[in-house]
Amino acid sequence: MSFYTPQYYNYESDSLEIHLKTMRSEYNLTKLGLIPGIEEYIEKIRQESYDGYCSFEPTIIDEVGIDDYCTIWAILKNE
């Protein structure tokens, strides 16, 4: 798995469209084995807020939802 990040961004044409279909209406991050991946994302990859940028990504596991970037990243990393 790899991601390409260009050096300069043209925000008008940047897009990433992912559709996930889940088989269950409830999910448990622990049972799915996603906690280690989510923790890695929060600690090493997540961009924190700074002047001119406001991060809306969760900072603790309890705030993580099924549609957050860190969950999607953990699913892709496991697969």
pLDDT of residue 47: 84
pLDDT tens for the chain, 79 residues long, are 455 556 666 555 556 666 767 666 677 888 888 999 999 999 998 888 888 888 888 888 888 888 888 988 998 898 8
Q: Give SS3 for 12.
A: coil
Q: What is the pLDDT of residue 1?
A: 47
> CA–CA separation, 31 vs 16, rounded Å?
28
What residue ranges do the domains of the chain occupy? 35-78
3-class secondary-structure state, position 30:
coil
Residue-level pLDDT at 41: 92
Q: What is the pLDDT of residue 14?
A: 57
